[in-house]
Structure 1
Amino acid sequence: MGTHEPDHRAGGAQAGEARVGVRGRAWLGVVVLAAGCTTTAPSTTPATTAATGCASRVETGALPDWADAGFSDASAEIPHVLGAKGEIVAVLFAHPLTWKRTDGASNKILWVSRPAPTPSDPTSGWVSRPAPTPSDPTSGWVSRPAPTPSDPTSGWVSRPAPTPSDPTSGTDLSITATLDGVGTRLTREVRGGPGPSIIDLPHAGCWHLDLRWSGRTDAMDLVYADGH
């Protein structure tokens, strides 16, 4: 009887197939794992405006000397905010201001503007010089006839008188309020100029206020808290 030798080629082929199968499954696992680790960066939507915070601080001491007229106790400590230019102060009778009040109070603000300097006020920094007379030859002044608006050669331009509809030239206090970080903008008006008012704003947060009255300007920030 002949001796049967084992078919090593068949066994080697089967082992090779097994190794290929193992390597194939291993690579497939790596691909699946890599796919599972891939992430997509979330999209972001930029804010309408960048938040800058509130620059104006609520003072709780005495009012400036030029703003305490009418108060029985000039040294009384009253919450107030001074404009960036120092031209106006907001006296907060309701502090803190609240966007939606449920306590029965109101957002009452007294606006007081710094008195405008006059040439006759020696403390205002102005020096009034007496007007020379044409009969004084040593004054060095030459009297020029007053031009009339109808004379186009006089070099003068006649400016129309301001109308009440012009918020930058009227006496009313015009307030443009912008909510910090959001960009919401609205206007309020105090008829007759700086004085008592109730200023309600529709959202909590820091509001930047641009103020205009009688040809003058200033700015400040006011914080309105959440309703209670």
Structure 2
Amino acid sequence: MRSPLGALIVLAGLALPAACAAQTPSVKDDCPVSEVRKNALPEGLGGGFSDPSRPPLWMGDDDFVAVLFYAQSDDPTISPGGTTPSGANTKILWIVRDSTGPLTINGSAPGGAGFTQQVEGGGSYPSIVDVPRGGCWTLDASVSGERVGSIVLPAK
């Protein structure tokens, strides 16, 4: 005879992985991609976007945002060389709460040399990110030598 409690425990166990998966970054081709967000930008970091009902795709947290202007639908895959296959620039707008001075982006991927890119600005830093090759790229951002955030993107 089967126990109703046993069935409930089994059902709860089946639901748990799905609930956890919704909260973790996705993995695309063995790359632990940062969560792509489609909700409104954090309070105080969303100024300048004219239609709050259609927020841009972004990655980050309450103090650090990377707006993925190049992204198609929900796919954060970036193209090497600074342009997409359609010819658009791989533009990322970095927004950092309470920051002054230039933003430095340090890109690293397994199996090869990385890159460093500096973007002038203060608080809001428009950039065209030029990853040199395909792979799984970690983009670490710092302002005035202080790390402010990091995102992970696949590149093809």
* TM-score class normalised by the smaller sequence: 0.5 to 0.7
CA distance in 2, matches of 1:78, 1:71: 8
Instruction: Report whether the alignment pairs 1:68 with 2:52.
Output: no
* Cα pair 1:203 1:224 within 8 Å, conserved: no
Instruction: Report whether the alignment pairs 1:57 with 2:35.
Output: yes
Counterpart position of 1:35: none
Instruction: List gaps (5 residues or longer) in structure 2.
Output: 1-29
C-alpha displacement of 1:104: 1.4
Counterpart position of 1:217: 147
CA distance in 2, matches of 1:197, 1:190: 7
Q: 1:215 to 1:178 in 2, by over 3 A?
A: closer
Instruction: State the structure with more CA Rg.
Output: 1
C-alpha displacement of 1:55: 5.1
TM-score (norm 1): 0.46
Q: 1:183 to 1:66 in 2, by over 3 A?
A: farther
CA distance in 2, matches of 1:70, 1:79: 15
Amino acid at match of 2:44: W
* Cα pair 1:63 1:75 within 8 Å, conserved: no
- For the residue of structure 2 that corresponds to 1:201, the secondary structure is coil
Instruction: Report whether the alignment pairs 1:202 with 2:132.
Output: yes
CA distance in 2, matches of 1:74, 1:67: 12
Counterpart position of 2:27: none
CA distance in 1, matches of 2:121, 2:140: 17
Instruction: Report whether the alignment pairs 1:174 with 2:104.
Output: yes
TM-score (norm 2): 0.65
Cα deviations by residue, 1:69-121 (Å, 9 ceiling, x for unpaired): 011122323110105xx4310001100422253311000111111236xxxxx
Counterpart position of 1:78: 56
CA distance in 2, matches of 1:57, 1:175: 19
Q: Identity of aligned pairs, percent?
A: 36
Amino acid at match of 2:40: A
Residue number among 69, 80, 100 corresponding to 1:99 in the alignment: 80
CA distance in 2, matches of 1:219, 1:54: 16
Count of matched residue pairs: 119
Counterpart position of 2:93: 110
* Cα pair 2:103 2:120 within 8 Å, conserved: yes
Counterpart position of 1:7: none
- For the residue of structure 2 that corresponds to 1:60, the secondary structure is coil
Higher strand share: 2
CA distance in 1, matches of 2:50, 2:79: 27
Instruction: List gaps (5 residues or longer) in structure 1.
Output: 1-51, 117-169
Counterpart position of 1:144: none
Aligned CA RMSD, in angstroms, stands at 2.3
Cα deviations by residue, 1:173-223 (Å, 9 ceiling, x for unpaired): 0111101x3253210110234421111111122211221114542232232
Counterpart position of 2:121: 192
Q: 1:223 to 1:215 in 2, by over 3 A?
A: closer
Cα deviations by residue, 1:19-61 (Å, 9 ceiling, x for unpaired): xxxxxxxxxxxxxxxxxxxxxxxxxxxxxxxxx8425211122
CA distance in 1, matches of 2:80, 2:145: 30
